[in-house]
Amino acid sequence: MPVVTHVLPEGADLSSARSALTDHLPLRAGRATRRTTTFYDTFDGRLHGAGLTLQHTGTALALSVRETGDEVASATVGAAPKRLFDRDLPAALAKWLAPEIEMRALLPVARLRTHELPLALLNEDTKTVARLTLSVTDDGTRGRVTATAIRGYESALERVQTTLVEKLALPEATVPLVDEAIAAAGGQPAGTSAKLSLALDPDEPANVAAARVFTRLVEVIRDNFPGTLDDVDSEFLHDLRVAVRRTRSLQRQFKTVYPERLQHFRDEFKRIQGVTGDLRDLDVYLLDFDDLKASLPEKMQADLEPLRTVIERRRARALTATRRALRAERTAGALSDWERFVTDRRPSDRTVGSLASHRITQVYRKMVKLGSAIDDDSPAEDLHELRKVGKELRYLLEFFASLYPTEVVKPFVKTLKGLQDQLGRFQDREVQANALRELAPALQDSPHTVMAMGVLVERFMQEELAARAEFAERFEAFASKAQRAIVKEHFG
């Protein structure tokens, strides 16, 4: 049924709001109630991005459309959960939420304590022809009045809305309550993004523009520190490590505009990358575990479970080591010193447009040269090296995308991504097969588990060969005459 929501005056309580309405409308009040509502989203705002709102009230979790408030699913769960993964969700909610949140945790992002008063709009026969709800909160959001039509009496809703707008001058609520609640709690309704989202001026000094990129990357690292240390979900560490890797890449590409002390910071970021590597690898194994298990013949699937236990134990040790390293004063000092180092420099003579184009051209040419030398007999290391250089090019295109036409950068990245995906599958399968071989001795008392791992190793090796067979086709597109001409025209 049609619903309208308007915002009450600043500081209005239930009594004053009811009094203002009854001056103009025949209303009958119900019993005032109190309730606490907890809103959930992922750290990066995936539900906000999907136009959904998840809230807990009483003992129920309810999912609704963010803009309209229309409920799409609900389930009884008891008390408000502290954290929810897809595996924790009731089936009625999982089918909507699991594809959106993937491996991320749903966390409380705002909590409202609300006082509500239901009101019935009466006609001349004292029959209810529309329902209103007054709501005010203790948590910094503006009170609201919501009116809902009753079938057959839709015109009554128009009367209510006319009164709210013309006689009481109450503006329509244009911001969803969840957004207002998150903002009142000091959060960002859209979540915390790990994207760069920077617009650079091609005529800026190269080190000034790079400082903006580096500063944003440090911001992403710091944003993801608490979630990594608290082990909230695996994506905090992933985003932290991506920001560290991007920093190291730009340090290499722009090293000519910095003095020799740059090497000290390159070593520090390499250290941070290194001390977090084992934990990330083990996270990936656990994230993929159910899919790997499901890929086995049904009779062997349960045999793989002891491997999960071994991985979880190793992950616990890796988490302890990662926490120790990230909490160390050395890490905090390195990030602060790095920010000062990149922002205190005198502007360089070279512009970012000139240096970015030079580096993109050079790295592209290096990839073409490396890839052209690869044939069926080349060692796997040659493909791994090509993938590493490809990451450098991908980061350059991401950092400096705003300097070039979108119609040039977007297809360039797409072609590069196609090659990178193929190289990634090739390397990932090799790494996975090697990892299972290394883990096998820890499971020597579980022969059935080792047999199941052997089946997976065999499959990884077959997929590795298949990925390698795709290389020539992918590389041909990346190194085509047309692509080389585009690079020369726009970057060279």
Distance CA 5, CA 142 (A): 12
Q: What is the mean pLDDT of each run of 10 residues along the chain (492 residues)?
A: 90 94 96 96 98 96 91 95 96 96 97 96 94 92 94 92 96 93 94 93 95 96 98 98 97 90 96 96 94 95 97 97 97 96 90 96 97 93 95 95 94 94 92 92 94 95 91 92 93 84
The verdict on 341 and 419 lying in the same domain is: no
Residues 284 and 334 in one domain: yes
Q: Are residues 203 and 337 in the same domain?
A: yes
Domain boundary among 321, 350, 379: 350
Together in a domain, 363 and 248: no
Give pLDDT, residue 67. 85
Pair 283, 371 in one domain: no
Q: How many structural domains does the chain have?
A: 3
The answer to whether residues 149 and 274 belong to one domain is no
Looking up residue 169, the CATH number of its domain turns out to be: 2.40.320.10
Which pLDDT does position 259 carry in this prediction? 85
Residue 259 sits in the same domain as residue 406: no
- Mark whether 248 and 237 lie in a shared domain: yes
For residue 73, CA distances in Å to 30, 54, 103, 341, 483 come to: 27, 10, 21, 52, 49
- End position of a domain, from candidates 162, 185, 208: 185
**8 contacts 170 by C-beta, under 8 angstroms:** yes
Shared domain for 46 and 149, answered yes or no, is yes
| Residue 62 and residue 172 in one domain | yes
- Size (the chain), residues: 492
Same domain, 8 and 151: yes
- Residue 365, pLDDT score: 96
CATH code for position 325: 1.40.20.10
**Residue 378 domain boundaries:** 353-491
Q: Do both 198 and 150 map to the same domain? A: no
**185, 217, 247 - which closes a domain:** 185
pTM for the complete prediction?
0.90
